[in-house]
Amino acid sequence: MRNLWTLGSVIYAIVATIVTCTPVEHYDTLKSRQSSEGVVAGIAWRDENGNVPVRREVRDLKENYPDQWNLYLLGLAALEWSDQNDSLSYYSLAGIHGRPYRTWGNAPGLPHKLGTSGYCPHSNSLFLTWHRPYLALFEEELYKQVKYYADAAPPDQAGRYAAAANSFRMPYWDWARGENAGTVPDFFTTQMINVVHTNGFNETIWNPLYSFYFHPLTPSVFNDKARAHVCVDMQRAESTQWSRTNSTLRWPTSDAPDAVSNQAAMYKSYEQQRRGLHDHIDGAFRRNTMNEFANTVEEAHGWVHGVIGGGWDGTSAQGHMWPLEYSAFEPLFMLHHTNVDRLFAMYQSAHPDRYFSPENIGSNGNVFLEDGSTVDADTSLLPFRNPAGGFWTPNTIRDTRTFGYAYPETINSREQTGPSKSNIQFATLSNAQGINASIAQLYGVSTRSRLMITGPSAGLDTSATNFTDWNILASSSSPSTFVAQFSLAGDFSSDAVGDVGSWVRMMPSSHAPHSTPSIATTTRTSVQGKISLMSNLLDAISAGKLASWNAKDVVPFLTSALTWRVLDAQGKPLPSHTLRAFTFKVCSATATIPASLSAPIEYAEDDEHVRCYPDVTRGKAGGVA
Ligand SMILES: *[C@@H]1O[C@H](CO)[C@@H](O)[C@H](O)[C@H]1NC(C)=O
Ligand SMILES: *[C@@H]1O[C@H](CO)[C@@H](O)[C@H](O)[C@H]1NC(C)=O
Ligand SMILES: *[C@@H]1O[C@H](CO)[C@@H](O)[C@H](O)[C@H]1NC(C)=O
Ligand SMILES: *[C@@H]1O[C@H](CO)[C@@H](O)[C@H](O)[C@H]1NC(C)=O
Ligand SMILES: *[C@@H]1O[C@H](CO)[C@@H](O)[C@H](O)[C@H]1NC(C)=O
Ligand SMILES: [Cu+2]
């Protein structure tokens, strides 16, 4: 008994030390405490037919709905400058996701995790569902600001702005449309932006999409190093930059306090990655279960965090968007995650019968999830309370209309039962043809059109309907953030880096307690990734470097051309001998092109039509032999 007691007090002392390392700001020091604390109700307004408005693509909002665009800029700027002590301020809402690791909305989570983790679930199946009420909460607060500006309009403009405000919903940035959707919008990257006030006056304001200013910055809650000094068990290769940087940065020039963003690096990174992102989302929509879809979308999502934040390839310091702990402070976070939520809603519309099955989360716990627990569609999504009582769950957030919004592609899709099918006002994209056609046209079409163009010159009879689809299948048991970059150009020092695309896993830094070499010895359950080679093989065929996409040509080509490297969260390449946590193989599958352009390409998944080629990967670090 005595030994047990002694052991118990030692454990208690260790836990107490860890908990007191980081100052925990408790919610009750914050303003706005009320009985409805932490309740996410969504936006109640509906049109005369009872339909919810849509969240629009941000470029569509700017070009075609200028009143809503101007209210958005004014409202977002006001929210960003709101009092950080208010629990519904931009700062407090962003702080729910990761740092400063404080409790929110009277939902403290697990007592022994207080002050060590945020609420955001990553690398587990709650990822998509947790962000839906999170975004809805942010949207509610943004909407209040938008209404405030509309209500202050001069009397002769009041009706116009009231209408714009009522149907305002926050925009998304569709980063998944590849070359078809152009570059990073320029209004993400300019410091100043023009806004037209409701009284008609023009003003150039600080662009709220450019960066968020901490006011004040509280170094004690953003200082990983200071914490590591107190907690001797946490020797981390982390920087103190977060406790010194007054505003959110992208691809910062250094980790010094006077660092500035390098927007051109974000711009270029997106140009390099957008085709791979497109292929990856195309692949996500082809997954057969919601859990697999969620996992594949989360990979592409992590990739966008890197495109915006930078710092993962060693060419810059880390920007706020890259580490999970700080990413929600970056103004583009909400635009990015709203697109993730939209992709989720589209998959739901295409497959209304599919939803989340129970999953063990392994080591991916957070402030409210114990490591090793099993989550399912009834797990509480802390800290977001349902007005009907208790917390929201994956089952209760299933329908976006619960929170008062839809997306252009889902507003009238077949599974939804809104009273009107003719609400053209909200339908910026035609969805009359159904959700599968929208998915095929937005995310499946580039491979197909390129096949049709390149096919004949590569000896493909375009009246034939079958072709061979090539992918890298990857798996990893790494518990830390990593970026696996794949290349056919072979030169990782050039601009061609990652020309095939990347496979990204974003993890909280607490998952790398002893820095990266421990990657090799961990035992957590593995994650799977699938990276399409199709676009690059088509390029190679066009360039005359590859005769056809048949195995007899592709296998020798990939054997000599395909290389990869894996970077840690700081952008340092991992030495080959530490890649034991990874496996990479190259496989092909038979795919069938349907006659109708609005029907998706069909990919065989069964063993009979899938073949793997160890020749391609043998002798390469992590490669299957
Ligand atoms: C916010 O709260 C802190 C700590 O309670 C206090 O020092 C600070 O003055 C408050 N700031 C504002 C703007 O109320
Ligand atoms: C405001 O500025 C825009 C862009 O510079 C211009 O097109 C518009 O006419 C201006 N409106 C007013 C009321 O000055
Ligand atoms: C950051 O803000 C603090 C006070 O808010 C100020 O003292 C400091 O000079 C600022 N640093 C930079 C680099 O602007
Ligand atoms: C979309 O297509 C899939 C097959 O690819 C089918 O199972 C599903 O029912 C379709 N969804 C709708 C809403 O038509
Ligand atoms: C195309 O592939 C499917 C299997 O995915 C197969 O059943 C069919 O016979 C193939 N058609 C041709 C023309 O090869
Ligand atoms: Cu995220």
Q: What pLDDT, in 10s, does the model give residues 468-487? A: 889 999 998 887 889 999 98
* 269 C-beta closer than 6 A to ligand 4: no
Given a cut of 70, whether residue 206 has pLDDT beyond it is yes
Tell me the domain boundaries of the chain.
2-42+57-415, 465-616
Give distance in angstroms: CA of 244 to centre of ligand 3.
8
**299, exposed or middle or buried, with CB in 10 Å at 0-12, 13-18, 19+?**
buried
Half-sphere exposure (Cβ direction) of 562: Cα atoms closer than 13 Å: 31
Nearest of 483, 509, 514, 481 to residue 498 by alpha carbon:
483
Q: What is the mean pLDDT of residues 503-512?
A: 74
Give distance in angstroms: CA of 202 to centre of ligand 2.
6
Q: What is the mean pLDDT of residues 109-128?
A: 88
Nearest of 307, 267, 303 to residue 284 by alpha carbon:
303
Q: What pLDDT, in 10s, does the model give residues 292-340? A: 999 999 999 999 999 999 988 888 999 999 999 999 999 999 999 999 9
Ligand 3: nearest atom to the Cα of 258: 13
Which pLDDT does position 94 carry in this prediction? 97
**Mutation test residue for ligand 3: of 246, 255, 258, the one with most atoms within 8 Å of CB:** 246
Confidence of residue 591 (pLDDT cuts 50, 70, 90): confident
Tell me the residue ranges of DSSP E strands in 339-440.
359-360, 374-375
Which pLDDT does position 233 carry in this prediction? 35
Q: What is the mean pLDDT of residues 480-504?
A: 78
Closest ligand to C-alpha of residue 592 is 5
Which pLDDT does position 224 carry in this prediction? 63
* 220 C-beta closer than 6 A to ligand 1: no
Give distance in angstroms: CA of 131 to centre of ligand 6.
8
Q: Residues with Cβ within 6 A of ligand 5?
A: 465-466, 590, 592, 604, 609
Would you identify the CATH topology of the domain 2-42+57-415?
Answer: di-copper center containing domain from catechol oxidase (1.10.1280)
Confidence of residue 44 (pLDDT cuts 50, 70, 90): very high
* Model pTM above 0.75: yes
**Mutation test residue for ligand 1: of 26, 85, 218, the one with most atoms within 8 Å of CB:** 85
Closest ligand to C-alpha of residue 257 is 3
The larger pLDDT score, comparing residue 8 to residue 251, is at 251
Please provide residue 312's backbone torsions phi and psi, each rounded to the nearest 5 degrees: -95, -10
The larger pLDDT score, comparing residue 39 to residue 19, is at 39
Confidence of residue 279 (pLDDT cuts 50, 70, 90): confident
The larger pLDDT score, comparing residue 402 to residue 489, is at 402
Which pLDDT does position 460 carry in this prediction? 61
Ligand 5: nearest atom to the Cα of 602: 5
Q: What pLDDT, in 10s, does the model give residues 438-458? A: 888 888 756 666 666 666 666
Which pLDDT does position 235 carry in this prediction? 36
Which pLDDT does position 447 carry in this prediction? 66
Mean pLDDT of the chain: 83
Q: What pLDDT, in 10s, does the model give residues 357-368? A: 999 888 788 889
* 314 C-beta closer than 6 A to ligand 3: no
Q: What is the mean pLDDT of residues 557-573?
A: 91
Instruction: Give CA–CA dist 301/308, Å, rounded.
Output: 11
Q: Does domain 465-616 have CATH number 2.60.310?
A: yes
What lies within 8 Å, CB to CB, of 93 at 6+ separation is 137, 138, 141, 328
Which pLDDT does position 498 carry in this prediction? 58
* 437 C-beta closer than 6 A to ligand 4: no
Q: What is the mean pLDDT of residues 497-514?
A: 70
Q: CA angle 319-324-329, nearest 5°?
A: 60
* 85 C-beta closer than 6 A to ligand 1: yes
**577, exposed or middle or buried, with CB in 10 Å at 0-12, 13-18, 19+?**
exposed
The protein residue whose alpha carbon is closest to atom 9 in ligand 1 is: 85
